[in-house]
Structure 1
Amino acid sequence: MDNPETLKILKETIDKLKITKENLREIRKTNQTFPRQTNTRLLDAFQSFAQFDRAPIWMMRQAGRYLPEFKEIMKNRDFFDACQDPFIAAEITLQPLKQFEIDAAIIFSDILTLPKAMGMEIVMDKEKGPIIKNKLETVDDINRIKSPDPESLEHVYDALYLTRQALQGKQTLIGFCGAPFTVFSYMVEGETSKMFLKTKKWLYQYTQETRKVMDLIARESAQYLINQVKEGGAQVIQIFDSFAGQIPPIDYIEFVIPSLRILLEGFKQECPNTPLIMFAKDQNGVEVILAFLKMCLGETPLIDGFQLDSNVSDDVLIKIIESDRTIQGNLEPGVLYGTQQIIKKRVSQMIEKLQTTRRYIMNLSHGLTPDHEVEKVRQFIQESIRQSKLYKVREILE
């Protein structure tokens, strides 16, 4: 465990529960009692008739490089080393909650944590981002992919547990994983890509082998998410399909959604009451959304909410609202580079359009970036809360 000066936010929780590096896992496995939830805004957003004062708000990548305290704690630290240290991961997760009035914490981790445990050798380059040294180059290489040793992911559940205890019920805890297609794309590209030519070659030329790998990723992801809930205490789950928009909707529906169904069904079978948010970046057209909504029919809907991009159409919004699913999003993060006036205007336009449903979570259309200014982020949050409250008052008066 790091020294107390490093773990400033976690210190009270560690002292109260007498947690050490040596006994954390034992405490987690024997004491699954968490503080009473006093802020239920995010959880209520998945209920059609819940009473609330305003819409909940959080931001993707809210714990990250735009925060000075993040830069300080990550000084001389490797990214994945920080992810694998539950005390550091929890501390970073909690950092934005000390800065802003937000309703959720999303665990500090990475969508490549699972493939790393499945045999992918991954390093984080400061300029290029994640790089996979042993990427899949031939179909024979898929034999190297294995189910992870359960021990290799315990640090994630430890970090979730620490964070949930530290939140004291004042925020909701979100766990996550990468979607099979995005994880597979990393495996074959070896890094982020502009054209994703290797991914497309596998998808169209080695279709069966690609499906085999994505189905394996889906099954392991389902178990990973189940454990985040049952072992770590995650209360909401989000699936990130960051590269979803790299192929046409017709191919996404044919090649990608079947593996997603395996993931969703596997998770919901064990955690039917845990809200799940699907984020298929740049794939928010009517065709794909309708395919997702078909998964929401029946006794146990497989998707509870949709994270949406800033360019989503009104037709899609109507389809989701009519299906009684939750909408999360969808301010363009670039707006946070703007003046206070433009931030105020765009937040107003977003709320006017999206708060026609009670099932709404304020967020960005994708994540914060290292060059976002803390005060601009604060303006977005404060303006969102202010206008959301005003909208609710107006709704009552009308």
Structure 2
Amino acid sequence: MVGVSEMGAVKPLLAAAAGRRPERRPVWFMRQAGRSLPEYRALRADRGMLEACFDPAMVTEITLQPVRRHDTDGAILFSDIVVPLKAAGIDLDIVAGTGPVIAHPVRTAADVAAIARLEPDAVGAVAAAVSMLRAELDPTPTALIGFAGAPFTLASYLIEGGPSRHYAHTKAMMYGNPELWHDLMGRLVDITVTFLRVQIQAGVQAVQLFDSWAGMLSRRDYEQYVAPHSTRVFAELDGAGAGGAAIPRIHFGVGTGELLVPMARVGADVVGVDWRVPLQEAIGRIGPGPALQGNLDPTVLFAGDEVIAAHVARVIDDADHAIAAGARGHIFNLGHGVLPDTDPDTITRVVDLVHSA
């Protein structure tokens, strides 16, 4: 049965997302698959990021490394948000120390019109990795999480040509040519939905939509230019599991405290909250309904065991108050990703603290 471990219990992450009482509080970490792990760095020493993302055996091994080391309740598929863009024919690379770099930024109507649909076979390697991972994870309490970049964040990379501080070109298109903007966003919704459906059909048990850069928008701009497209992504994934089953849909952004209400309305079952807003306050803004995910500040992991224990206890207490106030459940996570210099043993201790709470 999907979501049930060999021991017969519903996997904790899936239980919390569905409003059921898990056997233990689920915990996983964004960017846990890599970055801080020496075994990851050794494996990737002579392999490019995109090359690794299209190698099913390597995807499987990297995804499992943090699960073996930390006993996390979620295994986040090793990939990158630009993988479906690459598979759809966009000329891009992931440059070490920089991030995704687009060879020809998308800024004209001709550029937008040239964006092709994603063919499912083009990400067949990802599907193969998911199948391999399910075979490894099914007997365990750990759920497999698939993911994709949200249309706005993908659009920002495409328009800017890479990471940006001010998103001037992105906002110029959004404000100055809204018709072209919505055309681009619609095409990216199609790519995102296809990529997530491939993962779901292959067997992921939850999905997370990363809108990493949405926090640079005002609420008005988010509601006008972004929310309709994110809504369509979540709507098209409703009942996308085997036999029409629902799978948990998680929505995450950074610096999105002012956007929590509209982000919660686009259709996610779980809303990620970064460290800037306490979980109890987040559910107060959103109102009863979704489960919450988060929200330990990643830098706390550098502050020593006593401080870490106090902050973990605070997040858990805040989450319990949020559940009492109407949150469906809580999945412990950081407010953003694991920082590269984080001691892996510290991450393991956090998992132990959460599981013993």
Question: Are 1:339 and 2:304 an aligned pair?
Answer: yes
Match of 2:347 in 1: 377
Match of 1:221 in 2: 192
Match of 1:284 in 2: 257
1:1-398 correspondence runs (5 A): 36=6, 38=9, 40-48=11-19, 50-170=20-140, 171-230=142-201, 232-268=202-238, 270-271=240-241, 273-285=246-258, 288-295=259-266, 302-312=267-277, 314-320=280-286, 322-356=287-321, 357=323, 359-386=329-356, 388=357
Aligned-residue identity in percent: 30
Post-superposition offset of 1:112: 0.5
Over residues 173-231 of structure 1, what are the superposed CA-to-partner deviations in whole Å (9 max), with x where a residue is unaligned? 0001000000000001111111111111111112110111111111221222122111x
- Greater Cα shift, 167-176 or 39-48: 39-48
Q: Secondary structure at the match of 2:139?
A: coil
Post-superposition offset of 1:289: 3.0
Cα RMSD for the two superposed structures? 2.0
Contact in 2 for aligned 1:180/1:214 (Cα 8 Å)? yes
Over residues 364-383 of structure 1, what are the superposed CA-to-partner deviations in whole Å (9 max), with x where a residue is unaligned? 00101211111221222222
Post-superposition offset of 1:137: 3.2
Match of 1:9 in 2: none
Number of residue-to-residue matches in the alignment:
345
Contact in 1 for aligned 2:3/2:14 (Cα 8 Å)? no
TM-score (norm 1): 0.82
| Amino acid aligned to 1:338 | A
Post-superposition offset of 1:319: 4.2
| Amino acid aligned to 1:359 | G
TM-score (norm 2): 0.91
- Structure 1 residues 51 and 316, CA gap change in structure 2 (3 angstroms): closer
- Structure 1 residues 33 and 151, CA gap change in structure 2 (3 angstroms): farther
Over residues 280-313 of structure 1, what are the superposed CA-to-partner deviations in whole Å (9 max), with x where a residue is unaligned? 321232xx33334444xxxxxx311101111125
The CA distance in 2 between the partners of 1:374 and 1:264, in whole Å, is 33
The CA distance in 2 between the partners of 1:342 and 1:134, in whole Å, is 46
Post-superposition offset of 1:385: 2.0
If you compute each CA radius of gyration, which structure gives the higher value, 1 or 2?
1
- Structure 1 residues 88 and 38, CA gap change in structure 2 (3 angstroms): farther
| Amino acid aligned to 2:37 | L
Post-superposition offset of 1:38: 4.7
Q: Secondary structure at the match of 1:135?
A: coil
Contact in 2 for aligned 1:215/1:262 (Cα 8 Å)? no
The CA distance in 1 between the partners of 2:314 and 2:219, in whole Å, is 28
Contact in 2 for aligned 1:219/1:266 (Cα 8 Å)? no
Post-superposition offset of 1:98: 1.3
Contact in 1 for aligned 2:27/2:333 (Cα 8 Å)? yes
Over residues 95-128 of structure 1, what are the superposed CA-to-partner deviations in whole Å (9 max), with x where a residue is unaligned? 0111112111010001101111222111121121
Match of 1:24 in 2: none
